Amino acid sequence: MRTPNERTVLVTGATSGLGRALAGRLAQSGSRVLIHGRDARRAERVRAEIAAATGADRLDVLIADLAELRQVEQLAVDVRLRCDRLDVLVNNAGIGSGAPGSGRAESPDGVELRFAVNYLAGYHLTRLLRPLLTASAPARVVNVASAGQRPIDFADPMLTRDYLGTRAYAQSKLAQIMFTFDLAEQLRGSGVTVNALHPATYMNTAMVREAGVSPVDTVAQGVQATMQLVADPGLDEVTGEYFHGMRACRALEQAYDERARARLRELSDKLVEQARG
């Protein structure tokens, strides 16, 4: 792994919560940080705040609404235009289960919203940036998932029946982990590692507060766990793992089912192609 001041890191969803705190920690360490957000003014304000707090001057702002795959593709183009290397991609952007009683919503591409933002955007972005990551090896992909996991119902993956925000969220997070395991296998031997984690439990973030849940862990705990996957030299050769906080752990059983992962890949590619028209 490269030293912090040699490292370029893209953090999606970096304007609040864990992503915002992680971007600050990375900047403080001396890394170049690509701060992704969907609101330009908010992202620029975060950049200015991190610069003032850390003295960092290698902070770039990238704007995209990850609910829309066309914007995901433009984000990948923008990264490639700005950077000749990418050492770490942190797929952190996501939306929670929503306020109690909130209903089902779809992305502009017609995909169930939590599946679209929490999983499909990262799936597509990572594949688009794969050549850059491979050329930058040693490199890492870190997928911020959750201990809240639920099997994917391939008969109704968009949850058109009996919708619950908690179910949609948990399904999208398991999909992230399934993708993590697949990509790790595909990239084995390339110098690019791929791991997922549950950073901490009910951190004090807007997502948790919206759900009406009392915080349990701190954002600082989540940053510590995520930084381990980003920067710990002891994990240089570790790939295809799911971490609960600081420890490698076992995910829900469907994540280890190769046939289920193949069905998820097929579904994901179909949704991407449909969005392209």
Q: Give the chain's length.
A: 277
Q: For residue 207, which of 162, 141, 144 has the smallest C-alpha distance? A: 144
Residues pairing with 89 in the sheet: 10, 141
Burial of 173-187, coded b for 16+ CB within 10 Å and e otherwise, reads: bbbbbbbbbbbbeeb
Burial of 117-151, coded b for 16+ CB within 10 Å and e otherwise, reads: bbbbbbbbbbbbbbebbeebeebbbbbbbbbbbbe
Active site residue 169: yes
Give the separation between CA 158 and CA 154, rounded to whole angstroms.
Answer: 9
Selected catalytic residue, list 119, 123, 163, 169: 169
Contact 230, 142 (CB under 8 A): yes
**Integer CA distances (angstroms), 42 to 32, 48, 185, 210, in order:** 19, 10, 37, 19
Residue that the structure tokens 């919708």 belong to: 163
Catalytic residues: 169
